[in-house]
Amino acid sequence: MRVLITGANGQLGGALQRTAPDWADINAIDVEDVDLTDSAMLTARLVVEAPDVIINAAAYTAVDKAESDEDTARAINSAAVATMVEAMAASGGRVVHVSTDYVFDGASAQPYTPLAERNPQSAYGRTKAEGEDHLRACDLLVRTAWVYEAGGANFVRTMIRLMNEREELGVVADQVGSPTWATGLARTIWALVEKGATGTFHHSDDGATSWHEFAVAIAEEAYALGLVKRIPRIKAITTADYPTPARRPAYSLLDCSTTRDLLGDQPVPWRTNLRLMLEEEAKLG
C-alpha cells in the first residue's frame, strides 16, 4: 500500500515514519516539498505521488497566532484537506485526517465521544472542524489532544527547560484533558488503517489530568531521570491568571472506547507513556 504522510517533520509525522508497518510503502513530505496553501501545487504533487492513502499529519497548530491569522490557518487546516479529498476521490484512494479536541467547546462534564456535537471556540478549532467536514464516508478521522514527543516542540520539553531555569512556575490547573504520546497515536493510526476503519475515532492516553498535574508529573519523572536538576515549586493558577488570545477548552477529555474496542487493545495510562517519552528524551541528551 502506497502511503503519503504530510507533516513529515512534525511530532506525529516523525512518529508515523518510525512506527510504519512493513506493508506500508511510505513517502513523507513537508513544507519544503509542497506548499499546502497552494491548491494547484498540492494537487500536482498528489498526482505524482499517486498514494493509496494520505495520512494528513500536517496542520497549522499555532493556536494563539491563528486568532489573527485565520485565513492561513483555514488554508492549511481546511482547504488543503478539501484538495486531498478531491484528489483521492479522483484516484480511488482515501484520506486519514488527524484533528483535535479544540473542535469541542469544553463545556461537557463527560468525555467527548466521536459523535459528540462540535462547538469550537477558537480560530484553530473552527478551521480544524471545517477540515473535518470535507471528509467522505470512506475516509478516516482521528481526533487527539495534548500531543508530545521526544525531540519535539511541546509542553513537556518546554516545562523541562523552564524547570531548569526557574525555581517557581505557574501552570494552569482548571483545564482538564489527557496527554497523548505521539508514538502511541501513530501506532493507533497504523492499526486503524490496517483494519480499513472509516468514520471518526478518538485517541489519547488513558486518564484525566490538568496542565498543572501534568507539569508536576513531568517534574517528578524528569528529576528521576536526571533531566532536571531539582523539582521547582509548581504553582496552580487559573486560566484567568494566564490570559491568551485563543480560548482553550476547559474540559476536553476524549472518549476512546470505540477505538480500543475495534483494535482490541488496552488503553495506556498517560503517566506510563510520559515516562517512556522522557526515557527517549534522556537518550537524546
Per-residue b or e along 71-94, where b marks 16 or more CB atoms closer than 10 Å to that residue's CB: ebbbbbbbbbbebbbbbbeeeebb
Contact of 197 with 140, CB cutoff 8 Å: yes
CA distances 105 to 27, 112, 151, Å, are 35, 10, 30
Catalytic annotation on 124? yes
What grid cell was written down for 196? 480499513
User: How big is the chain by its Cα radius of gyration, in Å?
Assistant: 19
* 38: CB partners within 8 A, 6+ apart: none
Q: What are phi and psi of 80, to 5 degrees?
A: -65, -35
Task: Tell me which of 102, 124, 148, 251 is the catalytic residue.
Answer: 124
Q: Is residue 209 a contact partner of residue 217, using CB atoms and an 8 Å limit?
A: yes
Lookup: cell for 268: 495506556
DSSP secondary structure string, 116-137?
SPP---SHHHHHHHHHHTT--T
According to DSSP H, which parts of the chain are helical?
11-18, 39-49, 70-74, 80-91, 123-132, 155-165, 182-195, 211-224, 257-263, 270-284
Distance from C-alpha of 107 to C-alpha of 242, rounded to nearest angstrom = 19
CA distance 75 to 79: 5
* Residues designated catalytic: 124
